[in-house]
Amino acid sequence: EKGGYDHFMLKEIYEQPSAILDTFRGRLLSNEAIIKMVGVEDNMKKFLAADRIIVVACGTSWHAGLVSEYIFEDLARIPVEVEYASEFRYRNPVITEKDVVIAISQSGETADTLAAIKLAKSKGAFVFGVCNVVGSSIARESDAGAYTHAGPEIGVASTKAFTTQITVLTLMALRLARAKGTISSSEFRHHLIELEMIPAKVEEALKSDGYVQTIADIYKDATNFLYLGRGYNFPVALEGALKLKEISYIHAEGYPAAEMKHGPIALIDEQMPVVVIATKKGHYEKVVSNIQEIKSRKGKIIGIVTKGDKSVKELADHVIEVPETLECLTPLLTTIPLQLLSYHIAVMLDKNVDQPRNLAKSVTVE
């Protein structure tokens, strides 16, 4: 059932190229240059009339929501707020009939997310669910939605659910951008072509596995890790840190790279591995200068870079390459080595990768 892999998590990491393809199926029609999403088409008026989108989710799904904030605002020019479902529901939030709420949940059973959408519905908001499990509570409770079609995710640490959630949200943002006219038809077409190349590029990113194992072996005994990224890759830094925490029990923090100087830089010494996502285009020069700051404090740098990168290679202790793509699609690639890094460290530390202590696959308590 693990398909020859030692753990479900590894199997699910390797399933991502085909899972993302399944997410595209019937939706991304690049020959015709259209995106077809029934749940979006049927409710286009509501999306176009929305003053803003509120995303509610927990954990990894919340990180996918953060990535979508950048995509929706960048491409479709719709203001987005991303909320922890648990905080949103307990603070008497301002919600009106003009709000669109997107609930993201792999299991579709997360109690806080479910309660948040019930609250939003009671205030008249339109609720759109992005779930993986078909027929789940959140899927049923939503007014409309789009499934991720990632297939069953068994490992407690969410992997393919995350990348397929980002894929669905990217398709939505592009579809809405087209409808709003905030993207030209040639740009739209270009995005579709680039998106279609993502599964093959994920496949290529997975080839870093051997080198990631080498890095895992060097740093597995570290007691703290820092993950840094900017823009589209800031949420990826948060997600990389969460993956490491939950399965290896090593303390890790994700930060926007520029925030480092406002505090976390004090933590950096020769014991501290710092994973920096430094792909081309995404404020690259700024991230390179952040890397210099880490290096001058003797931190160990593991850079996630675009294939062929030179500047980071000169500074970093290790670099892991991912293929080049559009900036807004980089999270789908930069996430891959971070998943592998946490996986290998946890295996080397002999942790229960698929069922980490204290965690459940779906959190049905509040």
Buried-exposed string 299-332: b where 16+ CB fall within 10 A, e elsewhere:
bbbbbbbbeebebbeebbebbbbbbbbbbbbbbb
Task: Report d(CA 313, CA 292) in Å as an integer.
Answer: 12
Q: Is 105 in the site for ligand F6R (CB under 6 A)?
A: yes
The pairing of strands 80-84 and 52-57 is: parallel
The answer to whether residues 250 and 225 touch, using CB atoms and an 8 Å cutoff, is yes
> Do 156 and 106 touch, CB atoms closer than 8 A?
no
Tell me if 154 contacts ligand F6R by CB under 6 A: no
286 is catalytic: no
To the nearest whole angstrom, how small is the minimum distance from the Cβ of residue 322 to ligand F6R?
Answer: 21
Task: Indicate whether 60 belongs to the interface with ligand F6R (CB under 6 A).
Answer: yes
Three-state secondary structure along 23-51? HHCCCEECCCCEECCHHHHCCHHHHHHCC
Residue 111 touches ligand F6R, criterion: CB under 6 A: no
Question: 9, 58, 277, 333: which one contacts ligand F6R (CB under 6 A)?
Answer: 58
Contact between 142 and ligand F6R per CB under 6 A: no
Site for ligand F6R in 159-218 (CB under 6 A): none
Q: Does 363 bind ligand F6R (CB under 6 A)?
A: yes
**Does residue 246 interact with ligand F6R by CB under 6 A?**
yes
Residue nearest to ligand F6R (CB): 59
Q: How far apart are CA 324 and CA 219, in angstroms?
A: 27
Contact status: 115 vs ligand F6R (CB under 6 A): no
Instruction: Answer yes or no: are the C-beta atoms of 2 and 328 closer than 8 Å.
Output: no
107 binds ligand F6R (CB under 6 A): yes
Rounded to a whole number of angstroms, the minimum distance from the CB of residue 363 to ligand F6R is 5
| Smallest separation (angstroms) from ligand F6R to the CB of 158 | 4
Give the binding site for ligand F6R (CB under 6 A). 58-61, 105-107, 110, 113, 156-158, 242, 246, 362-363
Residues annotated as part of the active site: 361
